[in-house]
Amino acid sequence: MGNRENIIEIENKIKQIVGDDPDGLKLIISKEVKEQLESLLFDRMCLLNGMFEWTPLNVQRVQKVNDHLKFLSDSLLERYLAIESKSSIICDNPAFDYDYEIDGSLRFSYNGDRSILHLEDDSFYGSDFNLMCATIDMYFSQNTWKSPLFVKLDDLNWNIECLNHKDLKLCYVTHCFCCHGLFSIPDFIRLNDFWAEIMFTEQSITQQDGTRFMKEDNL
């Protein structure tokens, strides 16, 4: 049995778990089923990466997605720093404000068929990219990148592991997608919707008598 047939067999097992409708996937509740799904997605990723060829066109496609993710991650960091600089203005109610958190996230977001590009070699892999990328998105829910601090690592070139190619200059977010996120490289170059979000949260933590929560109490 070749890689293409193995991929089809693995994806049929995945469909038995999540269904075959990318817009109505079955939720994974039990730990055992989640572990089974992760194992199947990992095996699929390895097979697809083994079939992927570093043609000049594919190198360009990887770089194009990477450059957009780099732009988004830089933009998130810029917004993070801008909001942080205004935190004292935003938190202007001493009777309520106790602390604040700023959190950024950048992930693939499945929003229907438009979220996945259809390329000329789709049939070569035998994968249902639409369903599988929707499944990975559901599996991680909030995946790939969770802290603006990671952007400081982008002075390095993350063309390592499965992304090892001399002509690529890759950011940390791309590394996370393909090396930690269960997306194969063929998946990666087809991803077409990305969700970038920055969140500022004000916090007020009090006891029944109005006593303010003190961080040192939990040390």
134, 24 contact by CB (below 8 A): no
Question: Is the Cα dihedral 203, 208, 211, 213 positive or negative?
Answer: negative
pLDDT for residue 6 is more than 70: yes
Is the predicted pLDDT of residue 197 greater than 50, yes or no? yes
Question: Of 177 and 105, which is predicted with more confidence?
Answer: 177
Q: How distant is the alpha carbon of residue 163 from its chain centre?
A: 16
Query: Other C-beta atoms within 10 Å of 21: how many?
Result: 11
**pLDDT given for residue 148 in this prediction:** 43
Say if residue 218's pLDDT is above 70: no
The backbone region for 212, taken as left when phi is positive above 0, alpha when psi lies in -120 to 50, beta otherwise, is beta
The alpha carbon of residue 152 and the mean position of all alpha carbons in its chain are separated, in whole angstroms, by: 18
CA-nearest of 194, 196, 190 to 62 is 190
pLDDT tens, position by position, 139-172 = 886 444 444 444 455 567 888 888 888 999 898 8
> Which secondary structure element, helix H or strand E, spans residue 62, and what is its range?
helix 56-85
Name the least confident of 73-77, 147-151, 171-175.
147-151
Average pLDDT over the chain, rounded to an integer: 82
